[in-house]
């Protein structure tokens, strides 16, 4: 039971409640912003940003946090179909599984990829910091790529499975060539962007959290040390007072 809890919580076990709330609040705000307020730079859509947020959550905070962030991404995407309906809006509203399941599975697949890499890492006989850091970067690159591929395969796969041959808004037919057109025009860009950006962001977030924990630990150590010194001083004063009282009692008895 403890092992299962440890696997679910992941790195969250080592962070404070304030750190966990802060990171999740930031990631959820990013998802809300870039899903509900679509932004594009030329032909490039920044819809990939929410996927990066889910990847950061899973790679930084662990399995459970990644699943919950993916669930939140799915929920916001579902609500967005009522606010900014796209060509798949009717299908996504009719079948929420298409929206929720792929997003939730991002965290699961990222967790499994990281577990495999961590298992291999135990076989590496080196303490070279540069080699280990490079290995971690490669681990996060592969985890990000597999996470994005999971979202793409799940989303497009479910659409093809449930709605193959359907006529979309604008007259397009949901068939094999249409799915492959999306993969080649959009999904490959998502793979490249997430694989390039996410590892650097994850390393930066983890470094920031580690520095924050060190500062807190150092501060607690200083407080404990000061408290110990104060207790020692108080004890010495009390001993001196007791000794003086004993001397006075002895003197009174002699008199």
pLDDT at 254: 47
254 domain residue, yes or no? no
**Per-residue pLDDT tens for 36-78?**
887 665 545 567 899 999 999 999 998 999 999 999 999 999 9
Q: Which residues of 91-118 are buried (b: 16+ CB within 10 A; e: fewer)?
A: bbeeeeebbbbbbbbbbbbbbebbeebe
What is the pLDDT averaged over residues 243-251?
52
Highest mean pLDDT of the ranges 32-41, 184-193, 231-240: 184-193
CA distance 139 to 125: 17
Of residues 179 and 214, more confidence is placed in 179
Q: What pLDDT digit, counting tens, does each position of 159-176 carry? A: 999 998 888 877 888 889
DSSP type of residue 173: B
- The answer to whether residue 91 sits within a structural domain is yes
Domain assignment of residue 19, given as a range: 2-219
In a domain, 247, yes or no: no
Torsion of CA 150, 151, 156, 157, to 10 degrees: 40
Nearest CA among 219, 161, 149 for reference residue 191? 149
Specify if 95 maps to a domain. Answer: yes
Whole-number Å distance between alpha carbons of 15 and 254 = 64
Can you give the pTM of this predicted structure?
Answer: 0.80
Q: Domain with 213 in it: what CATH number? A: 1.10.1760.20
Mean pLDDT of the chain: 82
Q: Choose between 232 and 66: higher pLDDT.
A: 66
Confidence label for 248 from pLDDT (cuts 50, 70 and 90): low
Q: Would 209 be classed as within a structural domain?
A: yes
Confidence of residue 216 (pLDDT cuts 50, 70, 90): low
Please determine, for residue 250, whether its predicted confidence score (pLDDT) is greater than 80. no
The token pair that represents 160 in the structure block: 């093809």
The model's pLDDT over 73-119, given as tens digits with 9 standing for 90+, comes to 999 999 998 988 888 888 888 888 899 999 999 999 999 999 999 99
Structure tokens at 183: 């993969």
Q: What is the pLDDT of residues 110-158, one digit of tens each?
A: 999 999 999 998 888 888 888 888 999 999 999 999 999 999 999 999 9
What pLDDT is recorded for position 253?
Answer: 46
The answer to the question of residue 251 being in a domain is no
Is residue 239 included in any domain, yes or no? no
Q: Into how many domains does the chain fold?
A: 1
Burial class (CB in 10 A: 0-12, 13-18, 19+), 217: exposed
Position 253 in a domain: no
What's the pLDDT at 223?
A: 56
């Amino acid at each position: 039971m403890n092992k299962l809890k440890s696997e679910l919580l992941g790195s969250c076990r080592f962070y404070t409640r304030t750190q966990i709330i802060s990171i999740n609040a930031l990631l959820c705000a990013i998802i809300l912003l870039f899903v509900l307020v679509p932004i594009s730079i030329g032909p490039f859509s920044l819809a990939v940003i929410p996927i990066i947020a889910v990847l950061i959550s899973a790679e930084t905070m662990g399995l459970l946090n990644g699943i919950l962030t993916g669930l939140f991404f799915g929920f916001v995407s579902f609500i967005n179909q009522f606010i900014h309906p796209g060509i798949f809006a009717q299908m996504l509203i009719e079948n929420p599984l298409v929206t929720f399941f792929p997003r939730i599975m991002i965290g699961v697949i990222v967790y499994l990829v990281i577990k495999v890499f961590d298992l291999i890492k135990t076989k590496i006989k080196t303490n070279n910091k540069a080699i280990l850091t490079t290995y971690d970067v490669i681990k996060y690159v592969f985890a990000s790529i597999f996470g994005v591929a999971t979202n793409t395969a799940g989303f497009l796969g479910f659409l093809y499975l449930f709605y193959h041959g359907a006529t979309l808004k604008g007259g397009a037919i949901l068939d094999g060539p249409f799915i492959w057109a999306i993969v080649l025009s959009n999904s490959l860009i998502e793979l490249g962007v997430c694989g390039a950006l996410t590892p650097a962001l994850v390393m930066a977030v983890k470094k920031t959290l580690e520095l924050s924990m060190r500062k807190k630990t150092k501060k607690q150590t200083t407080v404990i040390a000061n408290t110990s010194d104060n207790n020692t001083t108080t004890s010495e004063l009390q001993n001196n007072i007791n000794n003086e009282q004993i001397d006075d009692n002895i003197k009174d008895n002699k008199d």
